[in-house]
Structure 1
Amino acid sequence: MHFYSMAILIFKRIKSDIPLLITGSLLFYYLFKNELDMLNSYAENELLPHITNENIENVNTDLLLPIDNKFVKNSESTAKPVINTNPDPGSLNLKTDKSKDSTAVNLFDYDTLLEKNRFFPILQNSLDTSDVFNMISITPSNTIKNIKSLSRKLKHLIVDKFTWKTSYTYISEDYPNIQSMKFIDNGFAVKGQLDKIKSLFQETFDLYSNVIAGETDELKPLTRERIDNGNGFGRTLIGSIDMFFILNMEQELDDLIQKLTIQESLSTTKNLLNTNENFITIVSSLISGYELSNEKDEIFLKIAKQMAKIAIKAYDSPINGLPLPELPFKSLIQNRFPLRRTSIFDITGNILELVKMSSLTKENVYISTGLNVFQKLHDSSRNVFNMDYLFPSVIDPSGCQLVKQDINRKVSATASQSHMKSIFNGNYVSCLQRTTFFSINDINNFDSDGEEILEFIDLINEDGNVNYLFSILKTYHLLNGNDDLGFKTYFEKSFEIINKFMFYKPNLPANFLVEGGNNDFVFFTPITVKKGKLDEINNELDILVTQSLKFRCQHCQLGGMFLYASKLFENKTYQVIGEQLINGCALLPKFAELELIPESASFDKCFDLNNCYSFSKEAKIQSMADGSIFDNNFEIVTDGFFKIADTELPDTSEDDEVDAELMKLKDSSPLIKVDRKRNNKDLIDLKLEYEDEDETSAGIETSEGDILSDLYTKQQQQIEEEEQEVLVNKIFKMTTSKVEINGKPFNAQLQKWTDGKYPLYINSLDSKYLLRPEFIESLFYAYRITGDNKYRSIAAETLDKLIAHVKQVHNKHIEISAIEDLYTLEPRDELPYYWFTRTLKYYYLIFSDVSKYSLDDYIFNGDGHIFKKNYIIQN
């Protein structure tokens, strides 16, 4: 009792000082922590001397030699380095006197590289393992035994740059309905079609599951060969989780849940993980399974979180927080810039999925990362590349510009705070930090050859699961229209460019005028862009745009995208475009004399939109014979392809059937060019309307110091300032590509191409059929958005033709596979994972009751996985 009393007495005497002691301890701790962080920051940027015995400014020339702008390893330590005269020697400054280089660092030694990488990030062009340095840098560590041991502290990501706000769950009363309120056929389920599609899924999935336990990504259906062409997590199985729920496949679902519960993680033998697949396919499918189980099957969420924590490491890069397209997740060397040559689709592929992850877990690291990507997209959208708002397919997102150095190894710029010491090809280099994307051959890089790289621009990747404009729309919808970052404005600005340069109609024979009926249509085309002549007197720069005229089947997704935007932003023009793009996809097989949509096709462009059925074999043969068809006649472009609508979509919520006025517009709408003066006025009106909307549709009023609102205001001011500051007046001139017919053999007497597979009015055609989902995806959106049952009819007709074509007889068994050649019906031993995750899913959903998975309550990501959209209506 004595000791107890003494303890009570002491506590009473010091209890008033306890908060002070705790506060002092915390201040003491964070003081030293901040000092440590500051010193590490200085080490990364080389702003203070390093306490080390080595001369870090020297380069070991016994190990590296520059040859043709590439560093190669020297096998003879006593050999004299051979310096190539092409690179700027001042920028490389390799030492040639070995006697003075005794303290040089060997960055080809794994342990040395691992140590130096703590402070100096690695810059790489690619992860090509044929390169010695790349191979060393991605070497897996023996200490990593399984997925669960990979949880590492994030080094660069700012987890609170953007936060998940409560206001994102609120939706205004006047927020538009994406799904139609009325359906011509009442929107009931079509049981016969649903049974047929479920049977197809069951048949092909049984083939996969009977051969594979789920560890392999895909199966070749004819030879039964297993292939890991993804991340090796079994993406066919994992990607089918939501289909198990949709089709009520309880046995398959129970087996998978039991397997995941025992393993508690996914496994793979691969070292490089594709970042897009991690989020778009694996994490998204697990999220979908968790939400479709009414949040009961928690194993899906547990593993989704586990995988997301690994995948987010790809974004843990210096300067800009942009991702590596492939993450060497088993390597301990993790401090890396994004690759200098990266697809724009690898950069922008996961915005929606990251925001969704935060909405589910309330962990800010995901939304902060996803919205940071969009901010970088926005910051790089003007005055960086030749075309604003739309990006070249391959860019440099590293944020590291390799700068030249003088003979004293000093960087040429004076602002040393903006430079970071880095490792490139086994050498120390000075990296000028840039906060935007830039060209892969930027003239300011010391290794640039000075040649301008053609900027190839497309909107959708080869896999068809990344379309950053569609992702922006879906993210806007997921956030219930709380548009702090300006998603709506970005889409509208991008559309202006698309409307000018990326639509066309082909020139066809007269018989298609009758066959096409009243279905007006349009094709999408990628473009290439480069600089032309500079008129210094008038301060005018020619920007030369070339339409490829190559329409890929992946472009069929764009019809659904524009229809989605038409409802989201209540814009009639987008609806007309969406319907005409879908019409183009539906008519393409007829033009190619096929029954299914081929992989790609290119046509001659129709320049007179009032006379697009005037193709003449004789005229084309003559133009190829005399070479006139290859003339590059660049014409100045000022107008858009489609007329900009002046009014919003009419309200259809109380109509007895689909709005008659809109149907009339669809049937009679000519492809009229825009009067530029009027277009400018429309854009001003649109901008004012947007600014008004921003004040009323944000859900809940935000605080005065709200980060996102402030950022949005700054972005709007930046746009206005950039529009006023004209550095040079760009004059856009456009022509069409002749690549597809250049050197192509033809028979003038028979008036046909020598190979004879497709008609003369088609310039190229890839006749493969790979079971792609983009057309049925757009048909699904078109039916749900317009309520017109003609899209169900097209889907039913297409499904019947698909089944008739892809069933192959093999060893007396009927198997389903892709087709190598639609003209000869030669089979292709391939059954892609998206056949399960997207193709059959959208076929099933278009014939399901429209109350199932309404577009107002659910969002489908790029790989077809279903996210719940949570919202509270604000009065």
Structure 2
Amino acid sequence: MFRIRRYRLFVICAAVVVFLLYRAGHNSAWDDGGGASLHDTSLIPPDARPKHDYQPPEKEKSRPRPADYEDEPAGRLAHPPPGEQTVVKIPDLKTSLEVKGSFGLPTPTLPQIRTTSVAAAPKKVEVLETSSYLPAPTKAAVAGEIPDRDPAKLDDVVGIDGQNEHVLHIQKPPGKHEEEPIPVASPSIIHWKRVPEHFPVDSIIPLPTGEPKTIPTVQYKFQEESAVAKEQRENRLAQVKLEMGRAWSGYKQYAWGHDEVKPVTKAFNDPFCGWAATLVDSMDTLWIMGMREEFDDAYAAVRNIDFTTTPYRSEIPVFETIIRYLGGLLAAYDVSGGDEGKYPLLLGKAVELAEILMGVFDTPNRMPVLYYNWKPAFASQPQRASTSVSVAELGSMSMEFTRLAQLTGENKYYDAIARITDAFEEWQNRPNGTALPGIFPQQIDASGCNRTATAARNAAREKAKAQAAADLVEPQGYTPASPGDDNKSGMPKLQRKPDIEFSVKPGSSPDEPGTGEIKKIARRDGASSAVDEAKDKAAGLASNSVPENVPPPTKHNHGPLSKTGQPIDWDCIPQNLTSGAYGLDSYSMGGSQDSAYEYFPKQYLLLGGLEPKYRAMHEKTIEAVKKYLLYRPMIQDETRNLLFSARVFSRDGTDQSLTADFEITHLTCFLGGMFGLGGKIFNRPEDVDIGARLADGCAWAYETMPWGVMPEYSAITPCKNVNDCPFNETWWHDRLDPNSEWRITQMKQYELRVEDWKVDRQKALRNEAERQLALEQVQKSRPQNITTEEEEELAQTTLLETEVPASDPTVPITEDLKDRDSLNKRDIDFTSTAAEMEEEVELAVARQNLDDEQIERKVKALEEELALNSANVGHDSSSRNSADQILMGGKNFLPPEPVRPTTHEEYVANQIKNAHLLPGFTSIHDPRYILRPEAIESVWYMYRITGDPEWQEKGWRMFQAVVKATRTEVAHSAVDNVARPELAPEPLDNMESFWTAETLKYFYLLFAEPDVISLDEWVLNTEAHPFRRPR
């Protein structure tokens, strides 16, 4: 019979175990990563346009809007209910436009427009409509003369010898971590999760709507080509496609699903979160080249990309992610047919990625965080943009988010980048905003927080608080004296507060020692005690005691809030964009700045000309570039009128004391295409001509190098006069050696030192000749076969009987011995041994008997012997000094010969030889070639714009040289040095995704038919991803 009382403990334990096992089997919280599928499409919005064949799953239904939100303006972004989480609204910041009323170059603004709701299930999206817009500025562009560059003020900051801080010229700014990441083992995968916004906007900026404006034609009207020209073009086209197939095959075999292939070691690398950067970046190239099978393989692989997690990086490099991944997905979607195509997942994955990236804009001023801590523990915290970001990183997001907004109908994507554009526009129009009006410094403070002013304000607040606390103390009036008190005045006593009071208490008996103690230090009496107590109360501290029962700390989502509703640490004086450098601003069209300016005219095209601010910003930039940056290089071929863009530095925030580095960088080569494109769409023919000269400059930089490939970064001698620039070797050498005058002075001083040295040398030779002759006579006069004891005795006798001269080294011995009576025994050095002193005496006596003819013969013999030794060991001054030491058994009796300085001519010759400098070049700081596309990009633009077949010839020579230098067994690799004529470039085992996304694409389009990616139908982002223009 079962006895429940006996087994009750067993039954209870069994029940508990069963219950725990049941809960463990149904507890989804054990697997944090289980909530996100690799194929999760929940982030894909429903199609706002019925033409889409692709219908993503329905999004999670939004919560009903509370009553307080019913009166919000149309188009306002929906927010979580107030009870879910405390949110902080962005304060309206006053801009310089609002404060000062006007700018130097005003930008036309849109008139008041009406809104109308357009149905888009499952929620409404407010879309703007208008029937009229202000026309674009019609003021004719003034042809800008390129000024002569004053070489007297150049290179004060970046020396041409590279001794000063080297300016890095990097590919569109990379992520913070370039080393190969190591995945960290974890029991569960962490995924990004959507979090409520901390700084939501009150309303969103919508896409401009209306009929696209008429924009001038960009492409040249090509005529039908001949059969011979067509055959040659198609042969070249096939060779480019063959190299693309080679690179793609190597990636697919050795790095499929990873970011990059290592084309030498046949491994892979994942610097961009491991989301298959080469695959996504190259999909539109595959489609354009007709590689449909490869495109389908890549499309299938895109399904497996999970943008919500990465084991390789804790921070997402926002700029690179946008231009490579987001731009690549949108372009592949566009070129493959868009909403009429068969690849809807491309848009879905683009939205998935964009939803993650939208978190970077959740800052007080909506300027993005450019390295995004995507993990929920970090992403859920309030954040602020950095105080040091590059122009390119901040300004190169507009095209991608604009195109995404156009395809999805979601204005929030456009709103995110429109605020950045507005910030740049305000800064560009701000009086004295930058040293070069129209161009921004390389480093920007995008935090929106004036820390200097905030610190000063906080200090003033603390001072006022302390003063207020002191004013709260009531003055102490008359107090009557108590009986026995010596203070008869009735005024309070003032006691000096001791630092430490030590007292000795005597023992209870004479035999017991005393004890010491430190007295308790109490507060000072009187007014100061009251002041201290008031200060403590003002700081929120208990002045007398601490509560016995202290409540446990509570967990808050945010820190304590100020009266404005913002966290205390975030309460600062707001500011707009400003320089993020410390005392030295850098301005250029090169790395870290380039693509921000590139996007001004391209964004104008993408919006169909409906947003005039982009034209105004482009034209201001172009005028500044022509005024401050463009220069003509001094080259031997005077028939080629080339242009490059320099880097300029300002120390004082003005253009009054600029210095320049006349650089030739690969990244700056995009500028020719930008000038050409902007010149066509804005009817500025002089800009097209400048663009052709810039593009030709980069083509020349390829042609002039020994391997036909342009290095990353070099510098060249500028022309003194842009209209008349013959090659001047003297001017080039002066640029190579800016210290030539100092070297001339050094050489003159050296010649004077040599004359003095020759005199001293002759004196030393004569002194040595006398010494050797005297030594020979002494040795001959000594008796033969004398014992050691006898020699010592003879030395003692001679020492006592002979007077010796004073041992003054500054007086020649021959002069001392003219008077024998002047010898004195007390001048003898008694520290020497008796034999040594005896020998010195004998030598002194023997030198008196030498005649001049005998001495001269000895001097001549010494000179001949020195000359023979010098011939054996070398001819420079150090070798001659060694020869002197050999002659004297290691003791050099001659004064050292002055070291000859390097002459100006010798220094220049060494510079040219060691750095492999070609005529006109002053340095090659970075001789690598890393598969960059910017030069061929501008060549392609100029061919499509002008129709001149010479651009195809230049591009073909570039292609042949690049492939020869970079081809490996399985793909293509960046190389270490293209400037050494005697050594072939060595591979660096690196193939970035822009090789297949940009470089090979531009080579292919150069030889494709003109209607393939026509510039009148497409606009390309900075990663060469084509977006379809509005029709």
TM-score w.r.t. structure 2 length?
Answer: 0.54
Equivalent position amino acid for 1:355 in 2: T
Deviation track 1:159-193 (CA, whole Å, cap 9, x = no partner) reads 843212431xx234x42111222358489682211
Alignment of 1:750-765 (within 5 A): 750=909, 752-753=911-912, 755-759=914-918, 761-765=920-924
| Aligned CA distance change for structure 1 residues 253 and 623 (closer, same or farther; 3 Å) | closer
Return the alpha-carbon distance in structure 2 between the equivalents of residues 25 and 565 of structure 1.
46
What residue is the counterpart of 2:887 in the other structure?
none
Return the alpha-carbon distance in structure 2 between the equivalents of residues 438 and 235 of structure 1.
33
Return the alpha-carbon distance in structure 2 between the equivalents of residues 609 and 241 of structure 1.
44
The yes-or-no answer on 1:459 pairing with 2:589 is yes
Q: Secondary structure at the match of 1:303?
A: helix
Return the alpha-carbon distance in structure 2 between the equivalents of residues 419 and 438 of structure 1.
25
Is the 2:175–2:317 Cα contact (8 Å) retained in structure 1?
Answer: no
| Aligned CA distance change for structure 1 residues 143 and 784 (closer, same or farther; 3 Å) | same
Q: Secondary structure at the match of 2:372?
A: strand
Return the alpha-carbon distance in structure 2 between the equivalents of residues 165 and 288 of structure 1.
21
Alignment of 1:348-747 (within 5 A): 348-381=395-428, 382=430, 383-402=432-451, 403-404=454-455, 405-406=458-459, 409=462, 428=569, 430-434=571-575, 436-440=576-580, 452-461=582-591, 467-484=595-612, 486-508=613-635, 511-513=636-638, 517=639, 519-531=640-652, 543-617=656-730, 620=734, 624-627=739-742, 747=906
Return the alpha-carbon distance in structure 2 between the equivalents of residues 480 and 290 of structure 1.
20
Equivalent position amino acid for 1:242 in 2: D
What residue is the counterpart of 1:227 in the other structure?
269
| Aligned CA distance change for structure 1 residues 615 and 154 (closer, same or farther; 3 Å) | same
Return the alpha-carbon distance in structure 1 between the equivalents of residues 446 and 68 of structure 2.
39
Residue 549 of structure 1: how far off its partner (Å): 0.6
Is the 1:746–1:752 Cα contact (8 Å) retained in structure 2?
Answer: no
Is the 1:528–1:547 Cα contact (8 Å) retained in structure 2?
Answer: yes
Equivalent position amino acid for 1:573 in 2: E
Name which of structure 1's ranges 187-196 and 783-792 shifts more when overlaid on structure 2. Answer: 187-196
RMSD: 3.7
What residue is the counterpart of 2:344 in the other structure?
298
Equivalent position amino acid for 1:171 in 2: P
Return the alpha-carbon distance in structure 1 between the equivalents of residues 85 and 374 of structure 2.
27
What residue is the counterpart of 1:740 in the other structure?
none
| Aligned CA distance change for structure 1 residues 205 and 41 (closer, same or farther; 3 Å) | closer
Equivalent position amino acid for 1:761 in 2: G
Is the 2:260–2:991 Cα contact (8 Å) retained in structure 1?
Answer: yes
Residue 749 of structure 1: how far off its partner (Å): 7.9
Residue 34 of structure 1: how far off its partner (Å): 11
Is the 1:275–1:325 Cα contact (8 Å) retained in structure 2?
Answer: yes
Percent same amino acid at aligned positions?
Answer: 22
Is the 1:183–1:789 Cα contact (8 Å) retained in structure 2?
Answer: no
Equivalent position amino acid for 1:475 in 2: Q
Return the alpha-carbon distance in structure 2 between the equivalents of residues 867 and 422 of structure 1.
41
Residue 582 of structure 1: how far off its partner (Å): 1.0
Return the alpha-carbon distance in structure 2 between the equivalents of residues 601 and 241 of structure 1.
33
Return the alpha-carbon distance in structure 2 between the equivalents of residues 261 and 25 of structure 1.
35
Deviation track 1:611-667 (CA, whole Å, cap 9, x = no partner) reads 4223224862785321599xxxxxxxxxxxxxxxxxxxxxxxxxxxxxxxxxxxxxx
Equivalent position amino acid for 2:645 in 1: F
Return the alpha-carbon distance in structure 2 between the equivalents of residues 274 and 241 of structure 1.
21
Equivalent position amino acid for 1:362 in 2: G
Residue 153 of structure 1: how far off its partner (Å): 3.6
What residue is the counterpart of 1:333 in the other structure?
378
Is the 2:666–2:712 Cα contact (8 Å) retained in structure 1?
Answer: yes
Pick from 994, 1004, 1012: which aligns with 1:834? 994
Residue 574 of structure 1: how far off its partner (Å): 0.5
Return the alpha-carbon distance in structure 1 between the equivalents of residues 725 and 563 of structure 2.
55
What residue is the counterpart of 2:526 in the other structure?
none
Residue 354 of structure 1: how far off its partner (Å): 1.2
Return the alpha-carbon distance in structure 2 between the equivalents of residues 175 and 440 of structure 1.
37
Q: Secondary structure at the match of 2:657?
A: strand
Q: Secondary structure at the match of 1:574?
A: helix
Where structure 1 has 5 or more consecutive residues not aligned to the other structure, the ranges are 1-23, 46-125, 130-138, 442-451, 533-540, 630-742
Deviation track 1:472-507 (CA, whole Å, cap 9, x = no partner) reads 1111001111124x1111111122211111011223
Query: Larger C-alpha radius of gyration, 1 or 2?
Result: 2
The yes-or-no answer on 1:217 pairing with 2:357 is no
Pick from 841, 861, 868: which aligns with 2:1021? 861
Is the 2:249–2:970 Cα contact (8 Å) retained in structure 1?
Answer: no
Return the alpha-carbon distance in structure 1 between the equivalents of residues 320 and 433 of structure 2.
29
Q: Secondary structure at the match of 2:378?
A: coil
Alignment of 1:99-178 (within 5 A): 145-146=190-191, 150-158=193-201, 160-167=203-210, 170-172=211-213, 174-178=214-218
The yes-or-no answer on 1:253 pairing with 2:412 is no
Is the 1:193–1:847 Cα contact (8 Å) retained in structure 2?
Answer: yes
Equivalent position amino acid for 1:406 in 2: A
Return the alpha-carbon distance in structure 1 between the equivalents of residues 600 and 648 of structure 2.
21
Return the alpha-carbon distance in structure 2 between the equivalents of residues 585 and 577 of structure 1.
13
Is the 1:184–1:789 Cα contact (8 Å) retained in structure 2?
Answer: no
Residue 208 of structure 1: how far off its partner (Å): 1.2
Return the alpha-carbon distance in structure 2 between the equivalents of residues 142 and 492 of structure 1.
55
Return the alpha-carbon distance in structure 2 between the equivalents of residues 240 and 25 of structure 1.
43
Is the 1:176–1:567 Cα contact (8 Å) retained in structure 2?
Answer: yes
Is the 1:501–1:547 Cα contact (8 Å) retained in structure 2?
Answer: no
Name which of structure 1's ranges 453-462 and 474-483 shifts more when overlaid on structure 2. Answer: 453-462
More strand by percentage: 1
Where structure 2 has 5 or more consecutive residues not aligned to the other structure, the ranges are 1-63, 73-78, 92-173, 178-183, 466-560, 745-901
What residue is the counterpart of 1:816 in the other structure?
972
Equivalent position amino acid for 1:276 in 2: F
Equivalent position amino acid for 2:676 in 1: L
Q: Secondary structure at the match of 2:658?
A: strand
Name which of structure 1's ranges 356-365 and 585-594 shifts more when overlaid on structure 2. Answer: 585-594
Residue 376 of structure 1: how far off its partner (Å): 0.3
Residue 201 of structure 1: how far off its partner (Å): 0.9
Q: Secondary structure at the match of 1:468?
A: helix
Deviation track 1:809-855 (CA, whole Å, cap 9, x = no partner) reads xxxx4753222111222312221211110000111111111111111
What residue is the counterpart of 1:844 in the other structure?
1004
Return the alpha-carbon distance in structure 2 between the equivalents of residues 277 and 315 of structure 1.
16
Return the alpha-carbon distance in structure 2 between the equivalents of residues 142 and 158 of structure 1.
38
| Aligned CA distance change for structure 1 residues 29 and 407 (closer, same or farther; 3 Å) | closer
Equivalent position amino acid for 2:1029 in 1: K
Give the length in aligned residue pairs. Answer: 601
| Aligned CA distance change for structure 1 residues 252 and 758 (closer, same or farther; 3 Å) | same
Is the 2:87–2:199 Cα contact (8 Å) retained in structure 1?
Answer: no
Return the alpha-carbon distance in structure 2 between the equivalents of residues 300 and 749 of structure 1.
57
| Aligned CA distance change for structure 1 residues 297 and 589 (closer, same or farther; 3 Å) | closer
Equivalent position amino acid for 2:400 in 1: E
Equivalent position amino acid for 2:580 in 1: I
Equivalent position amino acid for 2:219 in 1: Q
Residue 38 of structure 1: how far off its partner (Å): 13
Equivalent position amino acid for 2:247 in 1: T
Residue 795 of structure 1: how far off its partner (Å): 1.0
TM-score w.r.t. structure 1 length?
Answer: 0.63
What residue is the counterpart of 1:343 in the other structure?
390
Equivalent position amino acid for 1:438 in 2: T
What residue is the counterpart of 2:877 in the other structure?
none
Equivalent position amino acid for 1:560 in 2: G
Q: Secondary structure at the match of 2:600?
A: helix
